Structure 1
């Protein structure tokens, strides 16, 4: 992962999800490429020409939304842009954490760097410097319909550029003007098109998705080795992961999950052959490649879609400086991200669903052949009894959160904007589902490590490593203790990525 000295060059075309995460979480710096700066200047010259020629162009010389037919006099163009920001800053609720705000800023900079939006270079550079110097606008989480983009959240970002609103700087919540001054920056006055260029885009939902994807990929790989530990603890049958079986149903994710399970179990003396203890395992063991693999394929699809969106122009109208054309369209519509967020939430929730079922098999003596709730003194001690309750509660919460937001729409702007994506709602729910899934996997990780200690024989190459990692942080449960402490430590281990190899 990048650190604070890393500089990521933005040209509008090559920003990766890992780079977004480095900017968001590790303080990586941003710099525009010379080519991007030139394209921004060319796009701006087209706006200036249209203003001089008094052309009627949406958002430049007209009002917005339902007011697109209202032509604005030249003398009021500056006020039009500031009014847009002030009036649209209508988000509510708890603010986004700094990592999400930084991702939003980076993504908006990258979209504007493509040079189709008509912003001035100095205005864009202020946003770059705010990100680099740690001026993080306070952006409330609620209030975006996901079309026309993320208007309300992005307006709160731009307020600070005007010396308005609020921002966090060096751990303190300040007014926008105070935060800029403390960072050695000055507010700007918006020119024609700039307010619209800054707020008309999908960057809030895309920021949430990019960070969630980074975390989801860690959960995917962690789930694989944790599941392999459970297979060993229950003396499962790895023949179900045989490559020739999975070649007959050639889904790439399924094949990869089966391959990784076998790699983690390589050398294990804890597994069994068909018929040795049982003819076949329950679905939560036997079907790990099919379930995990489907999530892998979903991750791959969403990763591709979000990478595309990270490098897209998502405002309106779009200016083509080569031809002088200005085209009004709907690139701000968040439907591609809304569907991706809902799809990924469902896919990641399935990692938690099957994990909780494996935990139940570990703690239930009728299914495991192990001491009830993995304690040697059942009755006096409850052991892992209530950890499974917690997992069941969290997976049920995920099921509620996985109701798709993208199937909803509600008309706005006097029915001019009569279909919206709800993509930001979908992405916000996704963030919670990913966090919940880490908790459920942490519970299985703890239970699998405990269950392994009731058996004997060499562990597999991957499972031995995972077992050693958890035992460095969390000792075996020999008597009842505050399990939430262990659960939190196991969750942090998973989220740190130490189980990804």
Structure 2
């Protein structure tokens, strides 16, 4: 069983990946982190006791930041905030995404700059360990002032309101808490604001996007290797000298992987044996896939910074240092997600072009047109290419950068926003489309190499062939191919 200890720092994507992959995983909180929480809470309580004017503690929010709130109404202020901001719409985020949200939000609170109580962090810990997953609608955030609406739906569950998923059922939060003997949280001063001023929805979805995109970028190379052999591709283009002469490490690495996957194949050719050069979707795999790989390094860096960031407002630093700022602004993650959208969309783009080469009788050598078992009577893989083309065209619209958009809110007090959650959601959708396109290429390539002769496959790709042929059949007759694509797509997924 995975135990993830949270300290307010040191959280990594690999640690989160292990935590999310283990259904029985739990989190613990270090004693040092608890002391950070206690220390910052004492400062907040002193502010209330002496009725100092501090945003969000003794004032209203947004445009109402100049409205003073008496200390006997501070609890009402926090509950009203959560209730009024719970106005998200649309389908809910996936349960793994919301679980990650809670872990990331808890890690932020443990830094000791948020001024929350031990009771709040323990409530979050309980929800995480008991897998009480709030239902969080995924639309309605501008990505600055934090992801206010989504995080409010998370927060409202902690006080026994709203809906949660528990053991496969959607139920009222209060009902689940009663069944487990958990007392609804009473929000103290600043705690509502501390729960919702942050970037956890865009970051949690971004974290899962990164995990899925990384897996698919790895898979795309061996899938392309199957296609390359089915089309008697030329290996000279992957010569190490070609790629080191340009200098991009990711390009060099993809070329190395291709040489490794193709080593020992009798289906590949050398330049001049069948043709002098391959089309770009074969010849330029290292250049295109390598460029997409470059986006992952940037995205990982930004995600791991944000996963350990203080993105609350105001931030508590000491007795006389409670400072209002803008760390809730999601622009760093917004730009990272837009970059990831481009990188993953391009992998799908080039994959679809390889699909076209596999099915087009003008391009696929001596393979049957559309891999049809009976040309004319059966369509074979003809419309599979249509479906892939549809997905990559959809990706082109989704890849429009969300981060360059902004719209003023709160009577122009909040006059520039990141739209980072939109970018993160669209990146997820592009990655889902990319997975289906790669599954389609894999499905067609499995049949194509079988027609060419699987004994000619390289040892490494023969292993892949045997694995995936074990879960989908040869295109021996027309059938409902969507089932085959779903089986393969699910097999390429990391997080359910």
Instruction: Give TM-score scaled by structure 1 length.
Output: 0.96
Give the root-mean-square deviation of aligned CA atoms.
1.3
The number of equivalent residue pairs is: 492
Choose the corresponding residue for 1:134, options 131, 136, 151: 131
SS at match of 1:365: coil
Please give the per-residue CA displacement for 1:179-206, whole angstroms capped at 9, x wherever unaligned. 2112221112111111111110000000
Q: What's the counterpart of residue 471 of structure 1?
A: 469
The answer to whether the Cα contact below 8 Å between 2:3 and 2:19 also exists between their aligned partners in 1 is no
Give, in whole Å, the separation in 1 of the partners of 2:278 and 2:209: 32
Which of the residues 482, 486, 489 maps onto 2:487? 489
User: Aligned equivalents of 1:300 and 1:84: distance in 2?
Assistant: 37
Q: Which residue does 1:265 correspond to in 2?
A: 262
Tell me what 1:32 maps to.
29
Aligned to 1:249: 246
Q: Distance in 1 between matches of 2:388 and 2:197?
A: 40
Kindly provide the CA deviation profile for residues 335-394 of structure 1, in whole angstroms up to 9, marking residues without a partner as x: 001111111011101111000000000001110111101123211111111111111111
Query: Structure 2, unaligned stretches of length 5 or more?
Result: none
Counterpart Cα distance in 2 of 1:465 and 1:311: 40
What are the residue-to-residue correspondences of 1:49-198 with 2, within 5 Å? 49-198=46-195
Q: Does structure 2 conserve the Cα–Cα contact (< 8 Å) formed by 1:25 and 1:99?
A: no
1:6 corresponds, among 2, 6, 19, to 2
SS of equivalent residue, structure 2 residue 451: coil
Is 2:373–2:475's contact at 8 Å kept on the other side of the alignment?
Answer: no
Once the two structures are overlaid, the 10-residue window that deviates more, 423-432 or 449-458, is 449-458
Quick check: 1:24–1:98 contact (8 Å CA) kept in 2? no
- Aligned counterparts of 1:54 and 1:11: Cα–Cα separation in 2: 31
Q: Give the 3-state SS of the residue equivalent to 1:356 in structure 2.
A: helix
Deviates more, 1:341-350 or 1:172-181: 172-181
Q: CA deviation at 1:99?
A: 1.2
| Distance in 2 separating the partners of 1:214 and 1:283 | 28
Instruction: Return closer, same or farther for 1:416/1:496 CA change in 2, 3 Å cut-off.
Output: closer
Q: Do the aligned residues in 2 keep the contact of 1:144 with 1:152 (CA within 8 Å)?
A: yes
- The Cα shift of 1:168 comes to 1.8
Q: Secondary structure at the match of 1:259?
A: helix
Alpha-carbon contact 1:24-1:100 (below 8 Å) kept = no
SS in 2 for 1:168: strand
Cross-structure match for 1:480: 478
**Secondary structure, in 3 states, of the residue corresponding to 2:350?**
helix
The CA deviation string for residues 425-475 of structure 1, in whole angstroms up to 9 with x for no partner, is 111111111111110001100111111122245312321111111111122
1:20 aligns with 2:46: no
Does 1:367 find its partner at 2:370? no
Q: Does 455-464 or 356-365 show the bigger shift?
A: 455-464
Check conservation: 2:211, 2:494, Cα contact below 8 A.
Answer: no
Superposed, 1:342-491 pairs within 5 Å as 342-369=338-365, 370-456=367-453, 458-491=456-489
SS at match of 1:262: helix
Contact kept in structure 1, 2:2 and 2:22, CA below 8 Å: no
Q: State yes or no: 1:200 paired with 2:163.
A: no
User: 1:454 aligns to what SS in structure 2?
Assistant: helix
Call closer, same or farther: CA 1:305–1:40 in 2, change over 3 Å.
same
The corresponding residue for 2:237 is 240
Q: In 1, distance between residues paired with 2:138 and 2:179?
A: 25
- Asked if structure 1 preserves the Cα contact closer than 8 Å seen for 2:302 and 2:333, the reply is yes
**Which has the larger displacement, 397-406 or 11-20?**
11-20
SS of the counterpart of 1:115?
Answer: coil
Separation in structure 1 between the aligned mates of residue 314 and residue 356 of structure 2, nearest angstrom = 54
Aligned-pair distance for 1:25?
A: 4.9
* 1:122-159 superposed Cα distances (whole Å, 9 cap, x missing partner): 11110110111121111111110000110111111111
- CA apart distance, 1:23: 3.8
**Which residue matches 1:335?**
331
Provide runs of 4+ in structure 1 moved above 4 Å: none
